[in-house]
Chain A
């Protein structure tokens, strides 16, 4: 009896242990991992750079106190230099830039040097805006250089790139065994746009000229092989030349609109095979 109890406990433990080890892995549902949405922390100055709206007008106001407050000037000057304000950013831009970089560790001896420069510059600044003889080309070139320098310093994505990443990462959460309605709608819209029906709708009984196609796609949305017409035999046997025209137009529609690069590549298994039925409108 003791042996029996012992054996029973051992077997129970064995079963529980086996269940503990194997069941969790087999019961775990097939859930796609949570979409990864990359976040990018940017400074306010960079936000201004990314958006297409030019910087707010207070910038020229900021430049007025420049001669009065040397130190803040040293730091602020690069900021207005980045914004796209041609009239208020004369050729003196590059000059202050290297200076703060070099002189920051020694602000004290620098100040007297910095001071005379901004006052020197502001007289340059002031007459310039009123005069209409601004060399805007030179100004724009300078500004572009500023932007390019910025970009060279810290490579960052353009706004469109960030939104695209966000779109691609925003996949449906849940059972991923079906193409989402929006992806299907995009596919329908793309193919409909490329399907020329003008030559078919004048035919007698165009609603009967139905064409069934099948094709496979690569991960980048390109056609893996030429599309196949699954009811080709029926079309050939009918001898209906309008139907053959409809068949040709359906094939052209699929080929013309490839590659279908708007489909999410991380759910490739859901959309790698398509079957399409073209029904000409009456």
Chain B
């Protein structure tokens, strides 16, 4: 009986086997939460009144930087439960989890015996209960803003993997006066709008399209005169010295530095035709790169220095072309309707930003250097002149509102947007501003 039972059972079991173990459930997550990451940043600690006040100021600058990036959202300090006592102490993570903070930044300001201050920070992962990074900066006490920006950059890099852009400055054309007689001068300020300083007061010419050198505190721009063609100038920010790039018969304009800062690419106009040229700053030798009866202008170099993008209307409308740095292999990469202008190669090398004009509207967009993946990020009455942050994640551009018949409108402002098209926001400037240029990360 037992044997028969077992035999029968055995035969049956072969056909009626059900899985004895649970299978691992597999799921694909393809959508996420694009809301900014909640971050907690209690005031930086200090030992005496002065360092406590500095700590509060520094935290304010960091919070502002992180919030404005659009990637982080600093939780209001009034919601915090734990009060950190030391930057070296392990926080009570449960207190921070309750308020939904994903990351915690704790810092301290100490006075050093030589009169400088030391700003130290630790970044904690609240859900993994571990430290993500720690850094300390030493700087003179009145340079605390730059220390705060450097902490923001460190936080940004730890949390995104990308270098930050907070310890940078912006140069732009500041406009004052009535619409018919606008006075334009060059101004420089921190990227968060602090410390605006005029640069070209007292110059007898107007300044257009300023561009930063990637390696030195130098700007190149086009100077506009009343009685002769505009020329490209170099301007030293620290000393205030200006010099003309060279004496040319025709107009030179749209200058940009090469990534190593040793050359300037620009357009030069001769007998009504514009072409792209490159000039070596040490030898001052000019080399022609395009030779075409069409208007070739607005050159921009890739971060590896091997290719140049520019606009040309040789195909009938203004479109974007790329070529090798020696002028060979020129080919068109944009094919959309309307006009493409002011191409700028991203410092990350993966995208070229541009202004597009179509059907009476202006757009800021990006396109890959091979011509694929064109995306329009903004649209308005007049958006133009994009400039990249040093990490290639954020674009700054000029936006002008339409002039209304009653005389209002027509204001020019600076706006920023990130490369995914999110976080469009206005950049605070003293008065009207246009033609922005973003400096590299300050050393």
User: What is the CA–CA distance of A213 and B4 in the complex, to the nearest angstrom?
Assistant: 48
**A255 → B minimal CB distance (Å):** 5
Chain B residue nearest in CB terms to A214: B24
Q: Is the CB of B18 within 8 A of A30?
A: yes
Chain A 148-179 interface residues, beta-carbon cutoff 8 Å to B: 177-179
Report yes or no: B8 in contact with A277, Cβ–Cβ below 8 A. Answer: no
Sorting the interface of chain B by its residue count into under 10, 10 to 19, 20 to 34 or 35 or more gives 35 or more
> Contacts of A218 on B, CB cut-off 8 Å?
none
* Residue A244 at the chain B interface, CB threshold 8 Å: yes
Minimum distance in angstroms from B18 CB to a CB of chain A: 5
Least CB distance from B257 to A in Å reads 23
Known: A202-B419, A241-B161. A197 touches B24 (CB 8 A): no
Query: Which parts of A173-199 form the interface with B (CB within 8 Å)?
Result: 177-179, 184, 187-188, 191-199
A14 with B4, Cβ < 8 A, contacts A198-B71, A199-B37 known: yes
Q: Are A197 and B32 in contact (CB under 8 A)?
A: yes
A250-269 with Cβ < 8 A to chain B: 251-253, 255-256, 269
CB distance from A92 to the nearest CB of B (A): 48
Q: Which residue of B lies closest to A269 (CB)?
A: B22
Interface contact B32-A280, CB-CB below 8 Å: yes
Assess A26 versus B16: contact at CB under 8 Å? Given A184-B27, A271-B25. Answer: yes
Question: Quick one: which of A90-114 are within 8 Å of B by CB?
Answer: none
Name the A residues within 8 Å of B410 (CB-CB).
none
Tell me whether A203 and B162 are in contact (CB under 8 A).
Answer: yes
B31 adjacent to A22 (CB under 8 Å): no
Question: CB-CB < 8 A to A241: which residues of B?
Answer: 161
In Å, the complex CA distance between A29 and B28 comes to: 32
Q: Is the CB of A198 within 8 A of B23?
A: no
CB distance from B389 to the nearest CB of A (A): 11
Complex interface: chain B residues within 8 A of A194 (CB): 33
- Measured between C-beta atoms, what is the minimum distance from A16 to chain B in Å? 11
Are A18 and B1 neighbours in the complex by a CB distance under 8 Å? yes
In the complex, A195 Cα to B32 Cα: how many Å?
5
B125 CB contacts on chain A under 8 angstroms: 248, 252
Asked whether, in the complex, the Cβ of B29 is within 8 Å of the Cβ of A195, the reply is yes
Question: Which residues of chain B are near A278, meaning CB under 8 Å?
Answer: 29, 32
CB distance from A249 to the nearest CB of B (A): 8
Residues of B near A17 (CB, < 8 A) are 1
Contacts A198-B35, A252-B127 aside, 4 further interface pairs with beta carbons under 8 A come to: A27-B16, A177-B22, A192-B32, A278-B29
Q: Is the interface of B mostly helix, strand, loop or mixed?
A: loop
Residues of A within 8 A of B23 (CB): 177-178, 273
Which of B19, B71, B419: most chain A CB closer than 10 A? B71
A-B contact pairs, 20 of them (CB 8 A): A14-B4, A15-B4, A18-B5, A22-B8, A26-B13, A177-B22, A179-B25, A197-B33, A201-B420, A202-B160, A204-B350, A245-B160, A252-B128, A273-B24, A274-B24, A275-B26, A276-B26, A277-B27, A280-B32, A281-B30
How many chain A residues have a CB neighbour from B under 8 Å? 56
Bound form: Cα–Cα A192–B70 in Å: 20
Contacts of A191 in B (CB 8 A): 27, 29
Known: A23-B8, A252-B125, A252-B127. A270 touches B32 (CB 8 A): no
Judge if B9 is at the interface, Cβ distance under 8 Å.
yes
Q: Knowing A27-B16, A196-B33, A201-B420, say if A22 contacts B5 (CB, 8 Å).
A: yes
A147 lies within 8 A of chain B by Cβ: no
Of listed A187, A198, A255, A276, residue having the most chain B CB within 10 A: A198
How far does the Cβ of B98 sit from chain A's closest Cβ, in whole Å?
13
B126, chain A: closest CB distance, angstroms: 9
In the complex, chain B residues whose CB is within 8 Å of the CB of A195: 29, 32-33
**Does A126 interact with chain B (Cβ within 8 Å)?**
no
Inter-chain contact A18/B8, CB cutoff 8 Å: yes
Contact A192 B8, beta carbon cutoff 8 Å:
no
B146 neighbours in A (Cβ, 8 Å): none
A274/B27 contact (C-beta < 8 A), A196-B32, A198-B36, A281-B32 known? yes
B418 at the interface (CB under 8 A from A): yes
Task: State whether the Cβ of B75 lies closer than 8 Å to any Cβ in chain A.
Answer: no
Does A279 interact with chain B (Cβ within 8 Å)?
A: yes
Question: Is B393 close to A, CB under 8 A?
Answer: yes
The reply to whether A18 and B26 contact each other, CB–CB distance below 8 Å, is no
- Chain B residues, CB < 8 A from A196: 32-33, 35, 37, 102
List the 3 closest A-B pairs by CB distance, nearest first.
A197-B32, A195-B32, A241-B161
Cβ of B36: which chain A residues have Cβ within 8 Å of it? 198
- Asked if B12 CB lies within 8 Å of chain A CBs, one says yes
Closest to A30 in B: B18
Chain B residue at minimal CB-CB distance from A11: B4
Q: Which of B310-352 contact A (CB under 8 A)?
A: 348, 350
Measured CB to CB, the closest approach of chain A to B102, in angstroms, equals 6
Is residue B99 contacting chain A, with contact meaning CB distance below 8 A? Answer: no
- Does the CB pair A252–B31 fall under 8 Å? no
Say if the beta carbon of B34 comes within 8 Å of chain A: yes
Within 8 A of B (CB), among A1-25: 14-15, 17-19, 21-23
Query: B299 to chain A: closest CB distance in Å?
Result: 24
* With A23-B12, A270-B22, A275-B25 as contacts: A193 and B161 at CB distance below 8 Å: no
Q: Is B427 among interface residues, defined by CB-CB distance under 8 A?
A: no
Closest B-chain residue to A26, C-beta based? Answer: B12
Task: Find out whether the CB atom of B161 lies under 8 angstroms from the CB atom of A203.
Answer: yes
